[in-house]
Amino acid sequence: MLTGSDLLAKFKEVEKLSESEQVRACGYVSTKQNGDPRLNYTAYYKALLEAKGMRMGGASSAAGIGKGGRKLSYVATVQGNGNLLIGKAYTALLDLKPGDNFKIVLGRKQKVTLLPTDESE
């Protein structure tokens, strides 16, 4: 299976072929238990994206994932008591710790900005 610059070079050669022929030409073929070939499209596309500079998996993909594998919506709702809860997934994404303090700045067009302060609880 080709990766990195080798994969990109081979892709340039075979990009006019069908998808299955591209996958086969780049070596993303395994063998099923019954001996038939299996084309590994997912591994191929993942390797192609990574070769083009887009990281898949690991810490970079965790940025968009919350509890249980759900994608973060980047939407918050005001609770009945008036509190605005953003959630643990967002605080982890920002590497926030209990006791971190912020200055709340209200801007134009209802923009809310949180600026870290040196003060602690």
Tokens of 101: 């303090």
In this prediction the pTM is 0.47
Q: Per-domain residue ranges for the chain?
A: 4-56, 60-120
Identify which has the larger pLDDT, 72 or 28: 28
Largest interatomic CA distance in the chain: 65
Strand ranges, E, within the chain: 29-31, 37-39, 100-106, 112-120
**Which tens digit of pLDDT belongs to each residue from 67-103?**
556 677 888 888 899 998 888 888 888 788 888 888 8
Confidence of residue 60 (pLDDT cuts 50, 70, 90): very low
Decide which of 3.30.420.40, 3.40.50.11540, 2.10.260.10, 2.60.40.1260 is the CATH code for 60-120: 2.10.260.10
